[in-house]
Structure 1
Amino acid sequence: MSESQPRPGGAWEAQAAVALGCARSAGAYLRTQFGAASPRRYQGAHDVQLAADVEAQRRIVAGLTERFPGYGVLAEEGPVRRWPDAEHVWLVDPLDGTNNFGYGIAHCAISISLFRRRRPVLALVVDPLLRREFVAVEPPSGEPPAAPPGPCVPLRRSTISLVTNYSAAGRVWGDRMSEALGGKCKRVTSLWAPALDLALVSCGQLDGMICHEGDLLDVGGGTLLVRAAGGHVLDLSGEPFHAHGSMYRRPVSFVAARDERLARELLEYARTAAAG
C-alpha cells in the first residue's frame, strides 16, 4: 500500500479519519462491482455514468454529512451545481476513471478533498482495487516545505500523464501534445483518471502531468498531494498553482512534476500546444 498519511495529532486529523473510512467503505463496495455487468448511461459522446458510481457517492456523502452536518458537499454526480455557502466544503469524486472501471480496466480511484474558505486543506485518493491510499493535509502557515522528493528524472526517461476533457477540442489538444512529446520522453499516457495520476506523481510512480482544461473535482485534491510531497504544480503563466473554489465548473490547466526543472520543461510543451 502506498500511503502519505496526516501526522498523528495534526490539523484535520478527525476529518481525514472520517473521509478515509468513507472511502474504504465505498471501495469495498466497488470491488464487488468491478467486472460485473453494471447499468450505464452515456453523459455526452464519451463519458459514462454507472450505477456503481452513484451508489458509491451515496455511501460517501452519507458518511461525511452524518459526522459533519454543517459542511457543504459538491459531488461528481450532483445534484448541487454551485459552490455551497459554507466555510467547509467536501469535494467528492466517487469513481475517478469511471470509463476504466466500467470496461474492466483497473485504473480508478475515489477522490475526496476538503476545502476551507475555498482553499484545499485535506486531500485523499484511494485506489479501491489495488488498495493504495494517499492522504495529505495543507501544512500550517510558516511551516517549511516538504523535503525535495529526490533526484530529478530527465524528460527523456519520464512517464508523463496527459489529461484533457472529453470535448472534440480537448481531443485535438491531446493529439497535438502527444505529437509534441513523442520521442522526447519515455512514455506518454492518457489513463483518464487524473486524481489517481496526480497521486502517483506525488509518490514518484509517474513523473509528471500536463492537464488541459480539467475539472476541479478531478484534480483539486491531487494537486495538494503533489505539493505536500514536495513536488511542483504550475499554472500556464509559470506561477505556483493553488486550487481554489472559484475554479469550480471552470476549466483548470496546469503542469505537475516532482522536480521543478521537469515541471518547467513540461510547461513549455503545454504552452506550445495551447498556442496551436
Structure 2
Amino acid sequence: MNSISANLNVMIKACEKASKILIRDFGELEKLQVSKKGPRDFVTNSDVKVEKIIIEELKKARPNYSIISEENGVEKNKDTSNSWIIDPIDGTINFLHGIPHFAISIALKSNDEIICGLIFDPIKDEMFYAEKNNGAFFNNQRIRVSKKNNLNECLFAIGRLKNEPSFTYRRSGCAALDIAYVASGRLDGYAQDNLNLWDIAAGIVLIKEAGGIINDIDLNNIKNIKVLASSAEINTKFIEKLSNF
C-alpha cells in the first residue's frame, strides 16, 4: 500500500466506521420500501447518524479543525485554516429508493485548497482517494483519467441540462461517484451546475491527482457550484459540446 498521511488515515477510519451503519440502514430500507409509510424520515435519520459518527471520529483525532457539512452547516473551530468537508450520503435519493449507488465523501480543505479527498461507496466496497502531490488511488491501485480522444467513444455523466446533448451520457444521481469515475477512467467527463461544496470537494483533488482537468472552483462558495471535469485529452472538445447548450 502506498504511504498515506495521518489525516487521510483519520478520514478512512471515520468512513469505515460510518459505513457500517449505512450498510445496515440500507438493508433495513429494502424492507421499508414496500410499506405505505415510506422511508423518507428513515433516510433523514440515517444521514444525521452517519454525519454524527464521521464528525465524532474526526474530532477525536483533530479537535480544533473546522467543519463544513451537509446537515450541520459551517462550524468554525479554533483552527479555521483547516476544515473537514463532509457529505454523509451523496446520492440520497438513490439510497431512499433502495438503489445501491451512493457514497460517503470527506475532504480536507487547508488554506483555501483541497489537499485530501476520499469518496467511499460502501455497498460496492470501492474507495477512491487522493492527496495533493501524492497521486489518486482506487482501493490502493493508482488511477488515471481516461486517454480517449474521440468524443464518439466517450461516456459522460451530466446533471440537468436544458437540451439533449449529442454525446453518450448517464445521470447517476451521485455527483461524488460521477467525479470519482472520471478520475478512475470509467467515465470520460462530468458536467453539472447547482452543486454544493460537499458534493464535489473530494472530487477536486481526485481529478487533479489523476491527471484530469477541473474548472476553477471558489471554495468559499458553498452552494450553486458549477463543475466541469474531464481528461486533458478531450477537455476542449467537451467544453465546446457543452457550450451549445
TM-score, normalization: structure 1?
A: 0.76
SS state of the match for residue 7, structure 2?
helix
Check the 8 A contact 1:255/1:266 in 2, yes or no.
no
Identity of aligned residues (%): 25
Q: Secondary structure at the match of 1:257?
A: strand
Q: 1:157 to 1:24 in 2, by over 3 A?
A: same
Q: Residue 109 of structure 1: which of 96, 103, 117 is its match?
A: 103
Q: What residue number does 1:267 align with?
A: 239
Specify whether residues 189 and 150 from structure 1 end up closer, same or farther in structure 2 by C-alpha distance, changes over 3 A only: closer
147 and 92 in structure 1: CA distance in 2 versus 1, 3 angstrom threshold: closer
Aligned counterpart in structure 1 of residue 71 of structure 2, from 77, 80, 90: 77
* 1:247 pairs with 2:221: yes
1:190 to 171, 187, 193: 171
- Give the AA of the match of 1:90: W
Number of aligned positions between the proteins: 229
Give distance in 1, aligned partners of 2:146 and 2:173: 27
Kept in 1, the 8 Å contact 2:67–2:84? The answer is yes
Alignment of 1:25-174 (within 5 A): 25-35=17-27, 36=29, 37=32, 39-41=39-41, 50-78=44-72, 80-81=73-74, 86-139=80-133, 149=145, 151-164=147-160, 174=161
Distance 2:242 2:13 in 1: 37
8 Å contact kept, 1:111–1:221: yes
Mark the runs of 5 or more structure 1 residues left unpaired by the alignment: 42-47, 141-145, 165-173, 235-240
User: Structure 1 CA distance, aligned partners of 2:218 and 2:84?
Assistant: 13
User: Closer, same or farther in 2 for the Cα pair 1:201/1:149, shift >3 Å?
Assistant: closer
CA RMSD of aligned residues (A): 2.4
Select which of 230, 240, 243 maps to 1:257: 230
1:261 aligns to what SS in structure 2? coil
Amino acid at match of 1:257: S
Report how far residue 83 of structure 1 moved.
Answer: 6.6
State the partner residue of 2:11: 19
Cα distance in 2 for partners of 1:206, 1:212 equals 18
For the pair 1:202 / 2:183, whether they are aligned, the reply is yes
Report if aligned partners of 2:145, 2:230 keep a CA contact under 8 Å in 1: no
Distance across 2 between alignment mates of 1:148 and 1:20: 21
TM-score by length of 2: 0.85
Secondary structure at the counterpart of residue 139 of structure 1: coil
- Quote the Cα distance in structure 2 between the aligned partners of 1:220 and 1:150: 21
Closer/same/farther in 2, CA of residues 148 and 206 from structure 1, 3 Å limit? closer
2:192 alignment counterpart: 211
Q: Which runs of 5+ in 2 are unaligned?
A: 33-37, 135-141
After alignment, is 83-92 or 195-204 more displaced? 83-92
Shift in Å, 1:29? 1.1
Deviation at 1:82, TM superposition (A): 7.1
Distance 1:30 1:267 in 2: 36
- C-alpha deviation, 1:153, in angstroms: 4.5
Aligned partners of 1:271, 1:254: CA distance in 2, in Å?
Answer: 14
SS of aligned partner of 2:123: coil
Q: Deviations over 1:184-227 (max 9, x none)?
A: x3x31111210111001101111110122221110121121011
Conservation of the 8 A alpha-carbon contact between 1:50 and 1:102: no
Match status 1:223 vs 2:204: yes
User: Post-superposition shift, 1:245?
Assistant: 2.5
